[in-house]
Chain A
Amino acid sequence: MKRKKITYLLLFMWLTFVAHAQTNDRLYNLFLFTNTDYCVSGDTVWFKVILQNEVEMESNVVHVQLDSPGNNLIADVTKMSSDGKASGYIAVPDSLSTGVYFLTAFINAQRNNLNLDVNGKTLFVYNRFDENVTQFMVPGLKEKIISENLNDQIIIKTDKTTYSKGDKVAVNVEFKLPTNGTQAIINASHIDPLAEEKGGIFQFRVKQSESFIPCFNEKDGVLLSGKIVDENEVPQNGILVFLSIPANPPYFDYYVTGKDGDFHFFLKDAKGKAGIFLQTVSDLGKEFSIRVDKNYFEREEKVQLENKILNQKQISFIETAINGSFINKLFNPGFYLQPQTFEMPVSFEVPFYGSAVNRVIPNEFYDLPDFQEISRELLFGVQYRVKDNEVTFRLLNESPPGFFNNEPLRLINGIPVFKNSLFTKLKSTDIDFIDVVSRERIYGDLIFKGVLAVSLNDKSNGWLAEQTNISQFSYDCLQTDRQLPLIKSNGEKLDQPDLRQVFLWENIKNGGAQNFEFNLSDLKGEVEISVEGLTPNNKFFKASKKIAVE
């Protein structure tokens, strides 16, 4: 009897475990589609990711990475999703060697999954300086996912089957499959015969790139992670790290490193390329190295590649693609430039250090030669003292009245400063404004004995060179929205060669008959019109039709 009970209990536990595992699998499915299966180094590849709503409720930030079969991260972007969809672009480095690479999408919350299988889509990259590509290392077929062919349920019709360069193509797509929950993307582009034969979607078991990155639900923001190590590369535990982003008002946060020397910051609503300052705070006089790490997944096993001798059709397509890309760059140099903007809407109008009790704009007064004079003449409640060539600051406390016993938080352009001599040479003409907070301020678990914030006219922060344990980084936050340009020509004669390879790429409503049209470019070859997507059971499907351009 007792044995029976134990058996039932074990059975119940197993069922619970299986149900839980299935829930996780169901939750974390992301499906990535690209506008092209190939590109030339230096090109931009556009992607669309479909993720389930359950995922989006917890986290709405999708990571897309481009890596090599040998697990080297080539490029990565983070994009915010909306209504279960995310779309963006990834710049393929100009120097990337010819070869097959993989694009993978994931969310940070997947880090809690120990046995994670993700889909990797191949991207065939041809280096723009390669002149004669006759053989190619292609992936083996072991892990390839075969898309369900739905040519009988999604009928793609065109007005003709053979076209001339620049012709208008009229497309009719008729869905005959169950519409509920089907998500699809229509694409019309030139076919790379090599990518068509050897590319596709592969499934890989992955592991985390850096195990210390927490399984944090990124909602409307991106996680920035890194490590603090000493000169011997030993991770430093319990070190206070400050993050500063100079802006108006400035952004500030802190983190105390974990046992791996790791630190993490969550940059909410940060879009574009951020100029961030990280500094370690220690009174030990010890110098540390600050490292910012990439958040990506690595495959557990390297992809097995095999050598393929290319046929003439494949060789000439690669040649045309490389030449076309060269001419495109010549006529549209701006198209390949990546935006360098950064925006991070302020959550609160008041700076992190609180409202200034006194804001002084030195420009409104007589010019003063140094900061000692400025403190004496303009800054009420600020003591500037020099003893044995050491400068100290003390601020007056409002309540209880009296001077603080400790130094205030000193900021220059919103960045904490610990070397007071940096203030000494500041003239009133260098300064935009000075905020004095004569209060004991709390920021999380930090207490500041008043705040002295100096905003300079020069925001280049060249003075940082004199301060130790501070590093400046350029960090890619959420990717800003950008439209895929040049996808449609209006049919007018252009004063430059039209070398578009992608003509149509957009989300398509499921159900009924729909019409599309596009103009072909000056490139000859085969164009594939395809409808790709996911069935309600989250299986890849594809329906396609090929037309010839002569």
Chain B
Amino acid sequence: MKAKKIIINILIILGFSLSGMAQFKGPSGEDLSQNSNRLQGKLTGTVYNITPEANANFFLHEKWNDGIITLEDNDIFTGLKMRYYAYGDELVVYNEKIRSLFIVDKNKVNEFRLVTSEKEMHFIKLDFEGYSSNQRYFELIYQGVNKLVAFHFVEAFKVSPYSDRHGIMRDTEYRKSINYFMYSENEGFFKLQMRRRSILKIFPDNKKEIRKLFRKNNLIINNESSMIRAFTLLEENEIIKRP
């Protein structure tokens, strides 16, 4: 059963890699059909050649998800198969008609939604002014006066050489991580941890009030849902004020 699964996976990856089946090779449109016409606009990007290592480690989800992309010009693309490439903060889409994977041009994307077996994830693009100013995709966890966003990423760690399950020598391990932020349009990003102290740090003038509020509501912050509850309470009690 396991061997069968591996063979199927390899075949899928090979299929993606052989992406030159319906491409524009020169002055010919013979591989295209009327289904390729879309009056509102086209999705653009750079072809992505997936490797077994990337397939296993670099994406947020193991499977291809149904998704919707909204571009900066409000053009909406539905019915897409896509995965969030957490190792490089990119969105990879499978173009069924030309059997190719491609990284969608990030500068054109406004937001996208991934429908996984567990939940629908809503990602938005924000200008992240951290160590280097760039545009990043964040999962929107809570939308109120401020946003609570999560940055999903995959980190590579050097480890002692080992043989993986296919007998290939490896010295790198990939781990998925999440960084949480409060985002305000005027003040930018505030890094958060799943702890009460982290929220208190952002609102130093309201420490007492927040402690009391959380205590009164028996709120212990240790996961995403408690963080959402905390933000809701802060807004309801006008600690986070509407502009």
Contact = CB atoms under 8 A, between A and B. Distances in A.
Interface of A: 214, 216, 223, 238-240, 253-256, 258, 264-266, 268, 281-283, 347-350, 352, 354-355, 399-400, 406-407, 409, 418, 439-449
B42 interface: yes
A444 B107 contact: no
Interface string B32-72: 11101111111111110100000000000000000000011
Contacts of A439: 46-47
Given A283-B27, A445-B95, 17 more contacts: A238-B29, A256-B33, A258-B34, A264-B37, A266-B39, A268-B40, A283-B28, A347-B108, A349-B107, A354-B46, A439-B46, A441-B47, A442-B45, A444-B36, A447-B23, A447-B24, A447-B98
Given A266-B39, A354-B46, A445-B22, A418 B95 contact: no
Contacts of B36: 254, 256, 444-446
Nearest to A284: B28
B73 interface: yes
B25 interface: yes
Interface string B80-112: 000000000000000101101010010110000
B188 interface: no
A255 B37 contact: yes
A409 B73 CA distance: 25
Nearest to B96: A445
A456 to B, nearest CB: 22
B144 interface: no
A445 B39 contact: no
Contacts of B47: 439-442, 447
B29 A239 contact: yes
A216 B47 CA distance: 31
Nearest to B19: A447
Contacts of B97: 445
A352 B107 CA distance: 12
Nearest to B104: A442
B15 interface: no
A350 B107 contact: yes
Contacts of A216: 39
B102 A256 contact: no
22 contacts: A214-B39, A238-B29, A254-B29, A256-B34, A256-B36, A258-B34, A268-B40, A268-B41, A281-B27, A282-B28, A347-B41, A350-B107, A354-B44, A406-B25, A441-B45, A442-B47, A442-B98, A442-B102, A445-B42, A445-B95, A446-B32, A447-B47
Given A216-B39, A442-B46, A418 B29 contact: no
A256 B39 contact: no
A409 B32 CA distance: 17
Contact of B43 (A214, A409, A444): A444
Contacts of A264: 37, 39
Q: Which 6 A-B pairs have the closest CB atoms?
A: A240-B29, A444-B42, A447-B23, A440-B47, A445-B36, A347-B73
Contacts of A440: 46-47
B243 interface: no
A442 B39 contact: no
A472 B34 CA distance: 24
Contacts of A254: 29, 32, 36, 42
B30 to A, nearest CB: 8
A407 B26 contact: yes
A256 B97 CA distance: 14
A444 B19 CA distance: 14
Given A350-B105, A354-B105, A256 B37 contact: yes
Nearest to A242: B29
A82 to B, nearest CB: 18
Interface of B: 19-20, 22-30, 32-34, 36-47, 49, 71-73, 95, 97-98, 100, 102, 105, 107-108
B180 to A, nearest CB: 30
Contacts of A268: 40-41, 73
A445 B26 contact: no
Nearest to B32: A256
Nearest to B108: A348
A407 B19 CA distance: 16
A281 B29 contact: yes
Contacts of B29: 238-240, 254, 256, 281-282
A446 B27 CA distance: 12
Nearest to A469: B27
B107 A282 contact: no
Contacts of B42: 253-254, 443-445
Nearest to B75: A347
A245 B95 CA distance: 26
A255 B22 CA distance: 16
Contacts of B20: 447
A407 B25 CA distance: 7
A249 to B, nearest CB: 12
Contacts of A441: 44-47
A7 B183 CA distance: 63
A227 B30 CA distance: 18
A442 B28 contact: no
Given A238-B33, A445-B98, A418 B39 contact: no
A443 B38 CA distance: 11
A254 B24 CA distance: 12
Contact of B26 (A214, A350, A406): A406
Contacts of A281: 27-29
A240 B32 contact: yes
A258 B35 CA distance: 10
Contact of A447 (B34, B37, B73, B100): B100
Nearest to B51: A400
A442 B44 contact: yes
B27 A282 contact: yes
B23 A348 contact: no
A283 B26 contact: yes
Contacts of B71: 347
Contact of B95 (A283, A348, A400, A442): A442
B103 to A, nearest CB: 9
A400 B107 contact: no
A240 B71 CA distance: 25
